[in-house]
């Protein structure tokens, strides 16, 4: 680790950045006219996404100039996840941009820190959530448990698939929906119900604190890297219902991701594999 900085100091630094970025995006939505654009003609992006991304990445570069950064808006080079020789920061300045643009509260700043391809620290800060909209901050340092606003959290311990509440999401591009719909059909028939919140990071954190029992999706590293560690440290089981390529760190591989209460994981994995034709 650079300059003998401890993992707890790394987590504190990430949390401070996430909280400040949360204030930035809250201020932009509450007090300024929201300016929007599109990436690849389909994916919404706001000026606040760019501002928060530049703030976070700039602060990291200043304190840790030798570290690499993978961020959704300003440094989205996914090959960064394949190189494990130097520490890597994985950032989503606004997870849930469509929610953000529409005034919904399910919005999060996600910051993860990885060494040798393994995430060691994660912060997911939801600035519009919580009592009176004062915010919720999920935090984890590897081996030290997970917290929500400083209080320890645990998964739901759900054990009956029929009683499970699950979450998933859908891509902006609509040209490959058939496999997703097959999985959704199978899960709807096997589980209690579906929740579709529009933020992968919060979906996973909600599994971590027991508000959901299961989450699965295909996502990018910045969507889930921090939340996945939070779920693991809360005792949930995290893996994939598909295969992870040998050259890819599992902590940063987002295809066929599955996170759930431990007692449900194998049964959900079987449902999803069968629905996918694996």
Residue 72 marked as a ligand binder: yes
Torsion angle in degrees (nearest 10) through CA of 179, 184, 189, 194: 170
81: pLDDT confidence band, cut at 50, 70 and 90?
Answer: confident
SS3 90: strand
What are the backbone angles phi and psi of residue 270, rounded to the nearest 5°? -65, -45
Q: At which residue do the structure tokens 């996918």 appear?
A: 276
Q: Is 115 annotated as a binding-site member? A: no
Is residue 110 a contact partner of residue 62, using CB atoms and an 8 Å limit? Answer: no
Name the segment(s) of the chain with CATH classification 3.30.540.10: 2-152
pLDDT at 41 over 60: no
Instruction: Kindly report the pTM of this predicted structure.
Output: 0.94
Which ranges in the chain are annotated with CATH 3.40.190.80? 161-276
- The pLDDT of 124-148, averaged and rounded, is 94
DSSP label of 170: -
> pLDDT tens for residues 150-206?
999 999 999 999 999 999 999 877 778 899 999 999 999 999 999 999 999 999 999
What pLDDT digit, counting tens, does each position of 232-253 carry?
999 999 999 999 999 899 999 9
How much is the average pLDDT of 20-32? 91
Assigned token pair, 274: 């069968």
CATH number of 2-152: 3.30.540.10
Q: Which residue has the tokens 């919005």?
A: 107
Residue 80: its pLDDT value, please? Answer: 82
Options 3.40.50.2300, 3.40.190.80, 1.10.10.10, 1.20.1300.10; which CATH number does 161-276 get? Answer: 3.40.190.80
Which string of b and e fits 30-61 if b means at least 16 CB within 10 Å?
eeeeeeeeeeeeeeebbebbbbbbebbbebbe
Give the CA count within 13 Å in the CB-facing half-sphere of 53.
21
Neighbouring residues of 102: CB distance < 8 A, sequence distance ≥ 6: none
Q: Shortest CA distance to 127 belongs to which of 137, 139, 115, 114?
A: 137
For residue 245, the SS3 value is coil
Q: Is 223 annotated as a binding residue?
A: yes
The answer to whether the annotation marks 92 as part of a ligand binding site is yes
pLDDT at 263 over 80: yes
Residue 213 near residue 264, CB atoms below 8 Å: yes
């Amino acid at each position: 680790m650079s300059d003998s900085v401890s993992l707890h100091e790394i987590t504190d630094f990430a949390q401070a950045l996430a909280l400040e970025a949360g204030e930035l995006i809250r201020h932009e939505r509450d007090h300024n006219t929201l300016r929007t654009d599109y990436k690849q003609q389909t994916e919404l992006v706001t000026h606040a996404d760019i501002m928060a991304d530049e703030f976070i990445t700039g602060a990291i570069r200043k304190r840790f100039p030798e570290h690499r950064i993978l961020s959704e808006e300003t440094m989205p080079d996914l090959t960064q996840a394949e190189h494990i020789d130097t520490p890597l920061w994985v950032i989503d300045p606004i997870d849930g941009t469509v929610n953000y643009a529409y005034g919904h509260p399910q919005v999060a700043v996600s910051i993860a820190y990885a060494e040798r391809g393994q995430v060691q620290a994660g912060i997911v800060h939801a600035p519009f959530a919580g009592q009176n909209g004062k915010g919720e901050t999920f935090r984890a340092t590897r081996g030290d448990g997970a917290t929500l606003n400083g209080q320890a959290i645990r998964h739901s311990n759900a054990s009956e698939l029929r009683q499970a509440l699950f979450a998933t999401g859908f891509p902006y591009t609509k040209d490959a929906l058939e496999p997703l719909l097959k999985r959704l059909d199978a899960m709807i028939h096997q589980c209690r119900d579906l929740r579709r919140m529009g933020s992968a990071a919060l979906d996973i954190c909600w599994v971590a604190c027991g508000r959901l029992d299961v989450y699965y999706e295909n996502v990018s590293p910045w969507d889930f890297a921090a939340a996945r560690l939070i779920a693991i440290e809360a005792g949930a089981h995290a893996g994939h219902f598909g295969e992870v390529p040998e050259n890819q760190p599992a902590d940063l591989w987002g295809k066929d991701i599955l996170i759930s209460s431990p007692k449900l994981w194998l049964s959900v994995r079987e449902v999803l594999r069968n629905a996918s034709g694996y």
